[in-house]
Chains A and B, each alone.
Chain A
Amino acid sequence: MQDLASDQFFHAEALRDYLLCWESAEHRRRRGVSESEAAYHVLEHAGYLDRHGPPSWVAELRQLPAEDRRALVLAACRYTEGMTWAQRARRLLAAEALSAEAFEEMEDLLLRRDALETVWTVARGLADDLLQADPPLRRVVALSRCVAAEIDEQLAGRPDVVSVAAEVLARMPPPLPAPSSLSEGWWFASIGRLSDEYAQPLPIRRVRPAEAAPPLRFEADPQYALAAATSDDETVYRLAAVSGEKLQMRAFPRDSSKRVYTLALEPVPTSKEAVVLLDGEPIEQAAPPEYLAEQQLLFLFVTEAVHGRLSGPAARRSVELRQRPEPGKT
């Protein structure tokens, strides 16, 4: 599926569609495409065609009269105003360890960030001779660059995650050439090297016994008015860490005798073990814990008495996720 001809055909077909949309209100109406959406994707697909080479498509757009280029760039930049990738990146990267689904979204984000870079480089090239005499155009081009910078600000803070997810960008063609004055010091311009740079300290980290990561503590989630929700025999405690990560603890009787209660905690990564604290002290467990790895679901078992104290209205409940000791180590 990594067929160059297939990718080029895809971009050419899309470019034709968005170009028709850009030129015809009727075509836009039929396709449900807005003017700014059409402009943005004309630049995106022309840019990708040039990236796949040989470059000639952006040069064709540069042949357009100045007024047409100005309108195209203005509309394309207007499209970026509706992007929410920076907030989405912030939300995704708030977690200490990304789940498989969050990683999935992170890859999508990076691919679309790559598209944004392509569009901006094309837009900048098309507006090159207009910017000096056109302050409104200068302003929107600069603002669209800020949209990219805000996304990068979030991404740059988590090289541990981004360096791995950015491997997906290796399947994209090389970036469009841009004047060094526009790319030097720009975080996204060096994203391809992130993986190598981040790998440098690793041999040391791997040789030395790593210090245990500090426990991650979850308290009652302030988002909820009540710390617990009760229905029938089950009580649900929604907990949150300062980082924003969430943990749910469900308490219910293990069987009809109600002598032993199950505390079901999720999600608990396989690398972690959970300690339930009551007023800052670990609770006593009635049986060894059980773990469902696929669902990241950990079951702890406590006596009726411990459950009674735990569910008391004044109880200060918290859960700590601690690094599970490696096999053979204490």
Chain B
Amino acid sequence: MRPNVDSMIQTRKYELPDPIKEEVRVTFFNNRHHFLEHAEKHFACGDEPWAELLGKETVEKCRQICSDPRVSGLEDVYDRIVRILDEGIDTSIEKPTLIAYRQQRGEFKGVGYCFLTARGFYVVTSGERVRTALFVSDVVSDAPATRFRKAWLSLKKKFVGTYADRSGGVAVSTDESIWVSRENWDRCPVEETEAAPAGPPTTRRLHEKLRQALGPQEGAHARPRQ
């Protein structure tokens, strides 16, 4: 039988920080079909802000390839996308915002990783293969900090607990999650807001209330911002 080898598909290695502290290999999508399917739903789709990262030309090319496989340049588009995903994974390792999980999700059972990147998209692997990379933006023009916050909160809620399979549908259970780093999952590492100005008189009370709410906690959560 012809081996399931696709010369276009790339693999990268990453050195994960404590407490995982191991080298993992990540293959970017199962094969070109899987990549194209994902590209059509995410990279080439205007609902997510990929054009900002990949460039309008790449996204347009991606769109053309998805709608007509005879269009050339698939390797270049794939290469560009892998570079962006790779850079993103690097940021989630440098300022750790990743989750190692053991999960059963429908037919998939095993370990995987979820990398929340500084640009606000996240990459999930099943085993060593990227299964998805996406944004959680409500609107495509969301600011980077908004994208990051939405993905951060969403991942915090998703990678815990077991879903009862009461409907006979997809069963999802996370047997174990390692949150790296704990402090970055305890407090969202969005760039610090500058010292608050006084604010207009109408919201002064609200600002004061926020100062009180954040004050003691800021001490409790104190850690160097990178």
Listed in ascending order, the chain A residues whose CB lies under 8 Å from chain B are: 1-3, 5-6, 8-10, 12-17, 19-20, 23-24, 30-34, 37, 40-41, 56-57, 60-61, 63-65, 68, 79, 82-85, 87-88, 91, 98-101, 103-105, 107-108, 111-112, 115-116, 159-161, 163-165, 167-168, 171-172, 195-196, 198-199, 202, 205-206, 223-226, 229, 236, 238, 246, 248, 250, 252-255, 262, 264, 266-267, 269-270, 290, 292-297, 299
Docked complex: B37-51 residues within 8 A CB-CB of A: 37-38, 41, 46-47
Residues from chain A with a CB closer than 8 A to the CB of B1 are 254, 262, 290, 299
Q: How far is the CB of B129 from chain A (nearest CB, A)?
A: 8
Of B167, B177, B187, B197, which is within 8 A of A160 by CB? Answer: B167
Residues from chain A with a CB closer than 8 A to the CB of B116 are none
Residues from chain B with a CB closer than 8 A to the CB of A297 are 4, 30-31
Residues from chain A with a CB closer than 8 A to the CB of B142 are 37
Residues from chain A with a CB closer than 8 A to the CB of B193 are 13, 16-17, 20
**Could you pull out 19 A-B pairs where Cβ atoms are within 8 angstroms?**
A1-B160, A2-B160, A6-B186, A8-B213, A12-B213, A14-B149, A16-B214, A20-B196, A23-B203, A64-B203, A82-B138, A82-B141, A223-B67, A252-B2, A255-B2, A292-B4, A294-B30, A297-B30, A297-B31
A270 touches B217 (CB 8 A): no
CA of A31 to CA of B142, assembled, Å = 11
Residues from chain B with a CB closer than 8 A to the CB of A161 are 169-170
Of A12, A63, A171, A202, which is within 8 A of B160 by CB? Answer: A171
| Residue with the greatest number of chain A CB neighbours at <10 A, chosen from B168, B169, B213, B221 | B169
> Assuming the A-B contacts A32-B144, A161-B169, A164-B172, are A105 and B132 also in contact, with contact meaning beta carbons closer than 8 angstroms in the complex?
yes
Residues from chain A with a CB closer than 8 A to the CB of B210 are 12, 15-16, 19
| Residue with the greatest number of chain A CB neighbours at <10 A, chosen from B38, B140, B197, B203 | B203
CA of A206 to CA of B168, assembled, Å = 9
A168 touches B143 (CB 8 A): no
B106 touches A101 (CB 8 A): no
CA of A30 to CA of B160, assembled, Å = 35
Residues from chain A with a CB closer than 8 A to the CB of B188 are 10, 13-14
User: 0/1 per residue, B180-205, Cβ < 8 Å to A?
Assistant: 00000111101001101101101101
CA of A132 to CA of B63, assembled, Å = 47
User: 0/1 per residue, B97-115, Cβ < 8 Å to A?
Assistant: 0000000011110000000
B206 touches A19 (CB 8 A): yes
Residues from chain B with a CB closer than 8 A to the CB of A171 are 157, 160-161
A61 touches B206 (CB 8 A): yes
Residues from chain B with a CB closer than 8 A to the CB of A267 are 34
Residues from chain B with a CB closer than 8 A to the CB of A63 are 205
B contacts with A, residue count (CB < 8 A):
82
User: 0/1 per residue, B116-160, Cβ < 8 Å to A?
Assistant: 000000001011010110101011111111100110111011111
B205 touches A103 (CB 8 A): no
B141 touches A163 (CB 8 A): no
| Residue with the greatest number of chain A CB neighbours at <10 A, chosen from B31, B129, B206 | B206
A79 touches B139 (CB 8 A): yes
In the complex, B165 has a CB within 8 A of chain A: yes
Of A13, A65, A88, A198, which is within 8 A of B166 by CB? Answer: A198
B47 touches A202 (CB 8 A): no
B33 touches A13 (CB 8 A): no
CA of A2 to CA of B47, assembled, Å = 30
In the complex, B23 has a CB within 8 A of chain A: no
Of B30, B150, B169, which is within 8 A of A163 by CB? Answer: B169
> Assuming the A-B contacts A5-B217, A20-B196, A100-B131, are A64 and B202 also in contact, with contact meaning beta carbons closer than 8 angstroms in the complex?
yes
